[in-house]
Amino acid sequence: ETGVTQSPTHLIKTRGQQVTLRCSSQSGHNTVSWYQQALGQGPQFIFQYYREEENGRGNFPPRFSGLQFPNYSSELNVNALELDDSALYLCASSADSTTSFGYTFGSGTRLTVV
Amino acid sequence: DQQVKQNSPSLSVQEGRISILNCDYTNSMFDYFLWYKKYPAEGPTFLISISSIKDKNEDGRFTVFLNKSAKHLSLHIVPSQPGDSAVYFCAAIGLNNAGNMLTFGGGTRLMVKP
């Protein structure tokens, strides 16, 4: 049974650019959530996808968007990058959209915006 | 508006002694509380949870206590081991939230000295 895999592990982008982060869910999981963890803070919920549909969204602007594919892998896209977008981005998958107890987190992508 | 707070950014404990990590919350609609443990370069891993209708849950060396009237919970680790050194996040969830988002505290870095 494989875990949650995120790519890339590290990324440096320039302010104003666009970035795509990728996540492969754990086998058998149909729900994926994305979190942003700024330095020294706890993770903050961005959004969740269940069977390719957005199933909830946190307090993030529309330039944060996502996709979930038929194989339940997922992408997080961020447009018009700002310096404050520098953070660790965590993906978590679960087999059930109704509870967070079965969450398996990936190791994250560290994004630096310069 | 931080709904979940961990007021101690760090805690240092001697091996074999008790570690007590604290967490406060403001939203009385939270149904479950969870503790996650995070090592560097890894994603958070689920440790233990407690329902809002209980006041204690125990799993081996880990016990979580919930005081609803004070909106306070704590994680006790007895005895502490050097391998417990990590960042611990308290998180809360309201089961009627869209997307079942986890609301995290800012984390407490626990250092267990041999």
Residues from A contacting B (CB-CB < 8 Å) are: 4, 33, 35, 40-45, 47-48, 55-58, 90, 92, 97-101, 103-108
Nearest CA in chain B to A109: B41
Contact B25, B52 (CB under 8 A): no
pLDDT digits (tens, 9 = 90+) for A75-100: 999 999 999 999 999 999 988 766 55
Chain B CB contacts of A4 below 8 Å = 43
* pLDDT score of B93: 87
Mean pLDDT, residues B62-80 taken together: 97
A with B: how many residue pairs have Cβ under 8 Å apart?
A: 71
Mean pLDDT, residues B67-89 taken together: 97
* pLDDT score of A14: 98
Per residue, the 3-state secondary structure of chain B, as one string, reads CCCEECCCCEEEEECCCCEEEEEEECCCCCCEEEEEEECCCCCCEEEEEEECCCCEEEECCEEEEEECCCCEEEEEECCCCHHHCEEEEEEEECCCCHHHCCEECCCEEEEEEC
* pLDDT score of A75: 97
pLDDT digits (tens, 9 = 90+) for A1-40: 568 999 999 999 999 999 999 999 988 888 899 999 999 8
* pLDDT score of B81: 98
* pLDDT score of B41: 85
Question: What DSSP string runs through A80-91?
Answer: S--GGG-EEEEE
What CA–CA distance (Å, rounded) separates B61 from B78? 5
* pLDDT score of A28: 82
- A63 has a pLDDT exceeding 60: yes
Chain A CB contacts of B97 below 8 Å = 56
pLDDT digits (tens, 9 = 90+) for B20-50: 999 999 988 888 899 999 998 899 999 999 9
CA dihedral sign, ordered B22, A99, A56, A29: positive
Nearest to A101 by CA among B84, B105, B50: B50
pLDDT digits (tens, 9 = 90+) for B97-110: 555 688 999 999 99
What CA–CA distance (Å, rounded) separates B33 from B91? 6
- B64 has a pLDDT exceeding 90: yes
* pLDDT score of B17: 98
At A98, list the tokens.
Answer: 């109704």
Which of B46, B91, B106 is opposite residue A41, by nearest beta carbon? B106
Nearest CA in chain A to B49: A101
